Chains A and B, each alone.
Chain A
Amino acid sequence: MTRRKKIKFGQMLWSVFRFVLIFGLCYIILKPFIIKILAAFMSPNDLLDSAVKWIPKHWSLYYWKHAFERLSLSTAGVLSLCLSLIAALIQMMVSTMVGYGLARFKFRGRNLLFALVIFIMIVPSQVYSISQYLNFRYFGVGDASISLINTEWPIYILSFCGLGTKQCVYIYLMREFFQGLPIDLENAATVDGASVMGTFFRIVLPNAVTMMVTVFLFAFCWQWTDTYFSSMYFTNRMTLAQIPSNESIMRIGTTIAGFDKTGTTIAQNAAAILVILPLVGLAVICQKFLVQSISQSGLAN
Chain B
Amino acid sequence: MIATRKKNRRVSLEQRRARYGYLFTLPFILGAVFFIRNMVQTFIFSINETVMNSSGYTLEWSGFQYYVKAFTQDTKFVQYVVSSLGELLVQVPVIIIFSLFMAMVLNQEFKGRVVARAIFFLPVILSTGIIATVDQGSNLEGIMLFRSALETGEEAAAGMVDFQQLLMSMNFNETLIDIVVSAANGISDIVNSSGIQIFIFLAAFQQISPAVYEAAQVEGCSKWELFWKIIIPMNAKQIIVAAVYTVVDVFTKNDSELFNYIHTMAYEGNQYSYAMAMYIIYAIGLGLMLGIVLAVVYGLIRKSDGERR
Within 8 Å by CB of B23, from A101, A108, A225, A265, lies A101
- A287, B117: Cβ atoms closer than 8 Å: yes
Q: Contacts of B145 on A, CB cut-off 8 Å?
A: 53
- A128, B151: Cβ atoms closer than 8 Å: no
Within 8 Å by CB of A221, from B114, B125, B148, lies B125
Q: Contacts of B140 on A, CB cut-off 8 Å?
A: 35-36, 39, 265-266, 269
Number of interface residues of A (CB under 8 A): 101
- Closest A-chain residue to B248, C-beta based? A121
- B21, A122: Cβ atoms closer than 8 Å: no
Within 8 Å by CB of A126, from B57, B191, B206, B259, lies B259
- B202, A291: Cβ atoms closer than 8 Å: yes
Q: How many A-B residue pairs have CB under 8 A?
A: 275
- A244, B42: Cβ atoms closer than 8 Å: no
* CB of A85 closer than 8 Å to a CB of B: no
- A126, B137: Cβ atoms closer than 8 Å: no
Q: Contacts of B152 on A, CB cut-off 8 Å?
A: 258
- B251, A124: Cβ atoms closer than 8 Å: yes
- A162, B28: Cβ atoms closer than 8 Å: yes
> Assuming the A-B contacts A29-B120, A29-B123, A258-B152, are A126 and B21 also in contact, with contact meaning beta carbons closer than 8 angstroms in the complex?
no
- A39, B144: Cβ atoms closer than 8 Å: yes
Q: Contacts of A279 on B, CB cut-off 8 Å?
A: 125-126
Complexed CA–CA distance, A32 and B207 (Å):
34
* CB of B4 closer than 8 Å to a CB of A: no
Q: Contacts of B21 on A, CB cut-off 8 Å?
A: 101, 104-107, 110
Chain B contact residues, majority secondary structure? helix
Interface centre among A21, A29, A163 (most CB of B within 10 A): A29
Q: Contacts of A74 on B, CB cut-off 8 Å?
A: none
* CB of B128 closer than 8 Å to a CB of A: yes
**How many Å from the CB of B199 to the closest CB on chain A?**
6
* CB of A54 closer than 8 Å to a CB of B: yes
**How many Å from the CB of B174 to the closest CB on chain A?**
24
Complexed CA–CA distance, A44 and B39 (Å):
51
Interface centre among B57, B102, B128, B272 (most CB of A within 10 A): B128
15 further contact pairs, Cβ within 8 A, besides A128-B39, A266-B140, A276-B131: A25-B120, A25-B191, A97-B24, A101-B22, A131-B37, A131-B41, A163-B34, A172-B241, A227-B129, A228-B129, A245-B134, A269-B134, A272-B130, A299-B203, A299-B241
Task: List the interface of chain B (C-beta within 8 A of A).
Answer: 14, 17-25, 27-32, 34-35, 37-39, 41-42, 45, 56-57, 102, 105-106, 108, 110, 114, 116-126, 128-131, 133-138, 140-141, 143-145, 147-148, 150-152, 158, 187-188, 191-192, 199-200, 202-204, 206-208, 234-235, 237-238, 241, 244-245, 247-248, 251-252, 254, 259, 262-263, 266, 272, 276, 279-280, 282-283, 286-287, 290
- The 14 listed contacts between A and B (C-beta, < 8 Å) are A35-B141, A97-B24, A98-B27, A107-B17, A118-B290, A130-B272, A163-B35, A227-B129, A241-B130, A266-B140, A283-B121, A299-B200, A299-B241, A300-B238
